[in-house]
Amino acid sequence: MATGPGPQIDELCNKINGYLPDLSSFFASRNLALSPTKSSATLFTTWTSQMSTILNIHVDGSTLPTVLHPKILGVTFDQDLHFGEHAAAIVPRIQSRNKILKSLAGSTWGKDKETLMTTYKAISQPITCYASPIWSPSLKITHWKKLQACQNTALRIATGCLLMSPEHHLHNEARILPIRERNEMLTKQFLLNTQKPGHPNRHLIDEPAPPRGLRSHLRKHFEEIRHLRTQPYEAKKHKQVLGVLHIQASDLYAGNCPVNPVLKVKYPKLAEEERILPRETRVTLAQLRSGYCNRLNSYISRINPDIQNVCPACNVSPHDTNHLFNCNVEPTPLTPLSLWSTPVETASFLGLPLEDIDDSL
């Protein structure tokens, strides 16, 4: 049950209590009844001093419980509409699904990266995107980081990259947008969808700004998508524009993404031929592309002080990804870029398996 905003809590409670008998009679005339045990009251306010207020609202003589964080159609609300409680509620759900991914693959066995990413998009991504136009515009950065940490765990499982691997490397290996960028894109697509004839939220895109905005909401994206509206509305053009938003989100992230730590340039495209390699080999290549790999003494020396960061073949430091292609003991025309451009040839040079053991039997 909702009522308009007002300055006095007691006054609002009296208005609701005056309306509830009429509502109860309406239901009774139709052999229905209001259930106090299934009803609750919540005060939405930006004043922290009011958040602990117990609302004096009654239904048929029973006081309704005051609920601070009601869950409505799968979205958990908090009193100041920051939706931190919603983020906190979905974090354990994603973590439990990450366990499913972990059971499907390890660093040397299991399903390939594409299968694991498809599984992630099927069982976890819908949770992080559900009703995103409602809560994502208001969510604080601290809660975004918690959600992103859950996605990072899933991406490490899928790619086999180590914990030290940069976050942007995980997204480039998995070819997926971070959670916040994806939800912002979906919110913009929702706003564009409101221009469809007969859409129940059609008024939103042309609605004038309120006198003052207490919280960030859908309006923060209005100016970003207003120029993309198709006038008059055409279904075919509208679908193309939705695709443009996806491309823009991907290009914007790629443009803002830090350089690859190995190449010191923007991430190149990974050759499709890598898919024919076994998981163990693909995991090693992904780790080498990140600069953190358990085959490199530059990495092992960071976790084991007894190991020196020198090449075991030529005794030159540092023993990192770039040195593998510049070692005098094993000269090669390949370069670090070959990890992306010719992964099969690079795997052969590094002595990595080129086919699964089970397939060769």
Residue 47: pLDDT band by 50, 70, 90 thresholds? Answer: confident
Pair (193, 112) in one structural domain: yes
Band (148; pLDDT cuts 50, 70, 90): very high
Residue 337 lies in a domain: yes
- The model's pLDDT over 100-126, given as tens digits with 9 standing for 90+, comes to 999 999 888 999 999 999 999 999 999
Assess whether 202 and 336 both reside in one domain. no
Chosen domain end from 258, 291, 306: 258
Q: Which two tokens stand for residue 150?
A: 């859950």
- What is the number of domains present in the chain? 3
- Model confidence at 355: pLDDT above 80: yes
What is the DSSP track for 38-90?
G--B----S-GGGTTPPP--EETTEEPPB-SS-EETTEE--TTS--HHHHHHH
pLDDT at residue 202, as a whole number:
75
The single-letter DSSP state of residue 63 is E
Looking at the structure, tell me whether residues 231 and 293 fall in a common domain: no
Is the domain of 286 the same as that of 345? yes
Task: List the single range of 134-143, 203-212, 277-286 with lowest mean pLDDT.
Answer: 203-212
Mean pLDDT, the chain, rounded, equals 89
Q: What is the pLDDT of residue 203?
A: 73
Q: Is residue 75 part of a domain?
A: no
Question: Would you say residue 309 lies in a domain?
Answer: yes
Q: Is the pLDDT of residue 332 over 90?
A: yes
Instruction: Note down the domain range covering 142.
Output: 82-258
The pLDDT-based confidence of 360 (bands split at 50, 70, 90) is: very low
pLDDT in tens, 163-207: 999 999 999 999 999 999 999 999 999 888 888 888 887 776 666
Tokens of 147: 């959600």
